[in-house]
Amino acid sequence: MSPKNTPLGDRGMKELLKQYAAYNIWATQRILDVILALPEEKQLAEVPSSFNSLYRTVLHMWDAESGWWQRMKMEERVVFPGENFKGTMQELSGSLLQQSKLWEEWVSSASDLSLEHVFQYYNNKKEHFKMPVYQMIHHVFNHGTYHRGQLINILRQLGVQKVPATDFVIWMRQKK
């Protein structure tokens, strides 16, 4: 289903993606502020989770956003920044937010044709797929939401009492 065939209509899909892009940055920044206020040993502490630390979860988020960016830009070989990254949580957080801002800028200037463009890619298992750009971008932002939830869970396991609310509706209310 192309953006024109969605209930949102011609301009609605782009507007929704622009909101998601801004929301993605806002919500990630709120959680990163809490993480960056922690001592390094808590940022690196291992706990039960998909990615077993705050640091590794944020690194995965950056890898995912960067990987999809490279796929969309039709890079011949996707290079995940986490493969060689050895920086601090501060540097990692800045890199993730910088990548998220690239998405926001791209979505803001994208044409309907760019959003509808069907691109092809290979996943990490060398399986071939095709999908419209707008669906991939929606996945990128949804993926971030999923892992922010994991970050909140890890923060709670580490004894952090005050965690930020990052629901989309809260972001929307704050915009008014």
Identify the architecture of domain 3-175 in CATH: Up-down Bundle (1.20)
Say what the pLDDT of residue 12 is. Answer: 87
User: Which residue type occupies 11?
Assistant: R
Domain layout of the chain by residue ranges:
3-175
Residues 80-84 have a mean pLDDT of: 95
| Helix axes of 54-72 and 9-36: crossing angle, nearest 10 degrees | 150
Say what the pLDDT of residue 123 is. Answer: 85
Neighbours of 27 (CB within 10 A): 22
How far is residue 147's CA from residue 58's CA, in Å, rounded to a whole number? 8
> pLDDT tens digits, residue range 112-157?
999 999 999 988 898 999 999 999 999 999 999 999 999 999 999 9
